[in-house]
Structure 1
Amino acid sequence: MHEIESGDPAADHEIEMFPKRSDVNVPQHRYPHCLVWCPLPIISWIFPPIGHVGIADSKGIIYDFAGPYYIGEDSMAFGWPTKYHQVDLNLVGDADMWDHGVWEANAEYKRRVHNLCCDNCHSHVAHAFNAMRYKGKSNWNMYSVGWFIFMHGRYTG
């Protein structure tokens, strides 16, 4: 067992049993306040930056606009994430503001028809980013979201 600064073994055990809310847990598919990405069959093989994106709430539950009037919850349309980017909540405010943005995007996109070219999973995430004013911006779009995950995402494996 390792040395504990506080000298309280019970406190150390509690920390190990109950990880911080913001810990990414790839085997359990939990990505708190993350943008997540997975490849699209054939399309991503030809043009790697293109893929399917989702957004996770502060508890790590993933939501993705997977089809007309449908928001997937904890089951992405094309498989589990292979890339993710965990957002610094200070760029949003706090976990409640993050969750409100995710909730607002989900509520809006449950009423929309999915269109591969102009109203898709990337647009869903952009709507969430705009609702929470991520990085102080409200002009996120499907292209900026795609570029963001391509540049900042890290692989899960």
Structure 2
Amino acid sequence: MGETATDTEHHQMMIGFTDPMKIDPRRDRFPCCIVWTPLPLISWFIPFIGHLGICREDGVILDFAGPNFVCVDHFAFGAVSRYIQINKEKESSRSSDSCMFNGEEEEEDSNEKEPTWDDALRKGTQEYQHYSYNIFTCNCHSFVANNMNRLAIKSGGWNVVNLAALLFLKGRWVSKAAMVKSLLPPVIVYTLGILLGGWAFIASCSILAVLLVGWFVMGTYCFKKLIQL
């Protein structure tokens, strides 16, 4: 039994050294991931709405949580429920003369190392620490999209709409418990709403969802400076 425990511990240590991209939900470590958690009340009525963050290479979560405030290693609305891990070597590879910081002017010495994933996130964090938070125009999705564009993930072009769609369609659940925790409140709310309000409740929630989605679609694609990135 002692030999087995030692072997297991050695194996875990080796994984830590050889797999720096390993997801560890117990420690809230999601290296190079976009992470999502439901928002109280709002997600109960519109389940695809939630709070986003983006993670450093060591798995620490960064999220824009309030005016001039980016949370570090403290996801604002609870534990991560869904995530997408980005293959930084594959997705953000580029020629040596390309710029990781969205076309910002840089004068680099030949000896200066190429900007890293964490360099881009540090730049984005510094920028958003001077932004006012507004759920309709400058929110957590804006922060993550800004950093995705800095990193040139899939050549950039990220905004609050396609980022939300990506998480909704391709996000992986952390665990079955996380899925239940996220989906149970909407199920309860909709069950009670249908029993008490019938189709009027469904119609009200549908109108609210259409108005909210319509706002971000219009602000992203029709009035491009309305939603800040």
Into which bin does the TM-score normalised by the smaller protein fall? 0.7 to 0.9
Residue 154 of structure 2 aligns to a residue whose secondary structure is helix
1:108 to 111, 127, 145: 127
- What is the deviation of 1:60? 0.1
Residues in 2 aligned to 1:51 and 1:106: alpha-carbon distance in whole angstroms: 20
Which structure has the highest helix share of the two?
Answer: 2
Are 1:83 and 2:102 counterparts?
Answer: no
Residues 115 and 14 of structure 1, relative CA distance in 2, 3 Å threshold:
same
**What is the aligned partner in structure 2 of residue 40 from structure 1?**
39
1:88 offset after TM fit, Å? 1.2
Give me the whole-angstrom Cα distance separating, in 2, the residues matched to 1:67 and 1:13. 41
- Which deviations, in whole Å up to 9, do the C-alpha atoms of 1:33-76 show, x marking residues without a partner? 00000000111111111000000011000000000000001111
Tell me how far apart the structure 2 counterparts of residues 114 and 97 of structure 1 sit (CA, whole Å): 27
What is the match of residue 26 of structure 1?
25
Determine the structure 2 residue equivalent to 1:64.
63
Give SS of 2:20's match: coil
Match of 2:170 in 1: 152
> Larger radius of gyration, structure 1 or 2?
2
- For the residues of structure 1 that align with 2:120 and 2:166, how far apart are their CA atoms? 18
Equivalent residue letter for 2:129 = K
> Retained in 2: the 8 A contact 1:100–1:132?
no
Q: Using the TM superposition, give the Cα deviation of residue 15 of structure 1 relative to its aligned residue in structure 2, in angstroms.
A: 5.1
CA distance in 1, matches of 2:52, 2:86: 14
SS of equivalent residue, structure 2 residue 116: helix
- Displacement, 1:143? 1.3
Q: Percent identity?
A: 34
Is 1:122–2:141 an aligned residue pair? Answer: yes
3-state SS in 1 of match to 2:145? helix
Q: Is the 8 A contact 1:85 1:152 kept in 2?
A: yes
| Structure with the bigger percentage of strand | 1
* TM-score for the superposition, normalised by structure 1: 0.86
The CA deviation at 1:14 is 5.1
